[in-house]
Amino acid sequence: MNQRSSNLLDEALGLDQVIEPWPLRGQVVAIEDQVETSGSFVLHHLLKRSLSPNSSNVTIFIAFSQPFSHYDRILRKLGCNLVSQRDNSRFFFFDMLKLQCPGITPEGGLIALYGKIHKTISALPEISWKNVSIIIDDLSLMEVAANGSSDYVLDFLHYCRTLTSEFDCSLITLNHEDIYSSEDRPTFFIQMEYLADILIKAEPLATGLATDVHGQLTVSNKGRNKVSNFHFKVKENVVECFYPGRS
């Protein structure tokens, strides 16, 4: 398996060594991106790593953004078959594209969602509890589904975070930084950054567009007290990461 080129990202996350037990267990990973540079490739990469054949990881994917077919095609090119993982109960896909929480009590829908996640994890054999990843794509659409009640979304995230301590699972979220940077009080966003143990920011290059470099990634790993910054180029079946100046 060619892991050479993604090593910088894996290194920054601690995924370059053994992945059993899952190195991100008990941690909250927040991915932030912008209109110019999408961060969904990081999500796809983490999904692929978590479903690696060398690990017994189980992933719960909460999709507000794209349908299953979209991820299936992308992960297939990355070398991971989501359909068979789903059949083997290693991958659970919750399609939330049409979820719209009713106006009066937006929390109703989110409470039900949390209940579903909790039930799914509890139904797994106890051995698997340490190896569960919950991936949410993406948080800004969860706010839309909740009709703008960011407080309820924040509560939901806090509840999910209790899962990281109760079951030792990892929580990986994607959100769009440029939505909140223009707000007066970006409470929701700041809270999320505070909750995160690992922060991955995808930004465009300061110099603008380029063919060889699609953007830069900054990974802040609070646990290891380490900040890494490198450039990336997204390809069909791999993400190439390299230090500035090399490619």
Partner 1 sequence: MAAAKTRTSTFSRNLSTAAPSHGPGLKCGPNGTVFLSSGIPDLDKILGGGFPLGSLVMVMEDAEAPHHMLLLRNFMAQGLVLGQHLLYSSPARDPRGFLGTLPSPAASKDDKSRERDPDQEKGLRIAWQYKKYFGENQLDGQRDGKHEYSNEFDLRKPLERHFINGPRIDCVSIQDCPDLSTLRDRCATFLSQFPRNDGSISCAGRIAIQSFCAPQRAYSNMEWDMLSFIRSLKSMVRSSNSVAIITFPPSLLSPSFCKRWQHMADTLLSVKAIQDEDKELAQLLTGYQDMVGFLNVHKVARINTQVY
Told to check if 93 binds partner 1 by CB under 8 A, we report no
User: Site for partner 1 (CB under 8 A): which residue of 8, 22, 44, 49?
Assistant: 44
β partners of residue 32: 175, 201
Cite the DSSP H helix spans in 105-222: 106-123, 139-145, 150-166, 177-181, 187-195
> Any contact of residue 108 with partner 1 (CB under 8 A)?
no
Please return the burial class of 73, using the count of CB atoms within 10 Å of its CB with bins 0-12, 13-18 and 19+. Answer: exposed
Q: Which of 3, 18, 53, 70 binds partner 1 (CB under 8 A)?
A: 70
CA distance 106 to 149: 7
When the beta carbons of 84 and 122 are compared against partner 1, the nearer one is 84
Under the criterion CB under 8 A, does residue 180 sit at the interface with partner 1?
Answer: yes
Phi/psi of residue 64, nearest 5 degrees: -105, -10
Q: Which is nearer to partner 1, 12 or 139 (CB)?
A: 139
Applying CB under 8 A, the site for partner 1 has a residue count of 31
DSSP 167: T
| For partner 1, the closer CB: 18 or 97 | 97
Nearer to partner 1, 166 or 183 (CB): 183
Does 117 bind partner 1 (CB under 8 A)? Our answer is no
Q: How far is the CB of 226 from partner 1 (least distance, A)?
A: 26
